[in-house]
Structure 1
């Protein structure tokens, strides 16, 4: 965990307080509380302000690490037979503004995301402000039956984005939140506009990879097939090997491949 903090970039206590005070002042509030959230995230430090606002604080180190991860992901995508489609950011505020814009677009498409409020820069840090969803759960904390019940919403939301020529690009368990049985997406990344079809297939592969450990390959593929045709599922199958080598996914790739073959045969 100390290594992860190093990669994130340390935020000094006085800097955190300064960011919190500026954010609170933007909503005519006093700084009453600011607490950091422990999350398995390399690219930002999450915090809760006054138990009402969710802040994502992006350090210069986060931007550097994002560039390294983007290069690595593009190499992996290339090895899957496709030109890399991930794009990097030059500055923390650039990352923050993209995430704000992506969240707003998803809401326009009818996809649940925490309400995006604004992005601002503070002493070289990028900050994104969202509403705070209290009491959320992630896929990892749900029972298999609960995961199966929200899986159609996951693919329905993805399909809605994809129909609008928009992709998530970083779909993993931590970026899917469940609040009172409603599913929310967070943390969409930047993808080249001319590579939407490939990135869409990658999204689907990531979704299958997240669901398989909870509900099994057959059920995951069956639910995905309700929202995507056979050609699209075959495209997604090409990315499963790449997704399987990412450290944030642990699933039975061969089982998913076999179920996709059965579904599309």
Structure 2
């Protein structure tokens, strides 16, 4: 593609449904609409939790999965064209192929972009973050903060002002993780697809998310060591879960972050730790996880993290069986 052809993206910057998206955006960002929908969703969570507690069913998990399915964004033809355009112009790629990445995405659209550059094959990871991402994150944040208030924890999740703010924060978070020596993908750039949509481009790491890997002691220890290194460097992640760890070449890589507002650093660190413990216990025995955790964290740190167990298990992306939650609670010295 010539330089002249790369000077403008107007052909791809206008979406046919742009007006409809704008109207929907302003409706869902209305305070009254927010209050009504959050109340309804919170009520559904309460009802499904009660049903599961009485009947031992998985109604709440099915409800969560349905919310994700309904709200999951699509990789449309327009977005494919925009991605190809950026990678031709900014990264010099030819013969471009685009496919959705794995994982339980619903707040963004992660894509693997393959092509050729200087005669050799290359791959990048491209994450599309748009106004719908910001709206969904806003509602998720309000629901999470309701759970935090109920749990009496002294921190909260912060909302993003826009899709640009969301993409910029993730870029900053990944840069800071690498700066502190934590394995994470290098950021290659951030690009505006139009005034509402942004694309964060990072190096592609060939591997699997930990949710798709059999967890042994080495993998569990690597996760806990990574978390300890972050906390020693005063870095907070905010969204620890198995899908936010990649396993590649015998190493664990950390991706994605969420904003946390907090009055004291130990509170946010404890929340990261309890989410890590819950996530690891989903796929490994509780005593194995706790035995390795005690090699990296003090008993005081683990006990403090245990006070946030109820908040952690209420996260929609943590699926810890009730029997394991009870076992973990006992291990953490925080019985009911």
**TM-score, normalisation: structure 1:** 0.90
Report 1:112-131 matches (<5 A).
112-123=183-194, 124-131=196-203
**Shift in Å, 1:193:** 5.5
CA contact (8 A) 1:172 1:249 kept: yes
- Counterpart of 2:319 in 1: which secondary structure? coil
- Where does residue 29 of structure 1 map in the other structure? 93
- Counterpart of 2:318 in 1: which secondary structure? coil
**1:40 equivalent in alignment to 2:111:** no
Counterpart pick for 2:213 among 133, 137, 142 = 142
Report 1:74-223 matches (<5 A).
74-123=145-194, 124-134=196-206, 136-145=207-216, 148-192=217-261, 194-223=263-292
Cα shift readout 1:30-62 (whole Å, capped 9, x = no counterpart): 352122224311210011112511001012111
What is the rounded CA distance, in whole Å, between the counterparts of 2:182 and 2:242 in structure 1?
17
**Shift in Å, 1:142:** 2.4
- Where does residue 230 of structure 1 map in the other structure? 299
What is the rounded CA distance, in whole Å, between the counterparts of 1:93 and 1:195 in structure 2?
27
Counterpart pick for 2:132 among 58, 61, 69 = 61
CA contact (8 A) 1:166 1:196 kept: no
Aligned-CA RMSD value: 2.0
**Shift in Å, 1:217:** 1.2
CA contact (8 A) 2:124 2:204 kept: yes
Decide which structure has the larger Cα Rg and report it.
Answer: 2
Task: Name structure 1 gaps, 5 residues minimum.
Answer: none
Instruction: Find runs of 4+ consecutive structure 1 residues off by over 6 angstroms.
Output: none
What is the rounded CA distance, in whole Å, between the counterparts of 2:210 and 2:267 in structure 1?
25
Q: Number of matched residues? A: 259
Name which structure has the greater RCO, CA cutoff 8 Å, separation 6+: 1
Task: Name structure 2 gaps, 5 residues minimum.
Answer: 1-64, 115-121
**1:73 equivalent in alignment to 2:137:** no
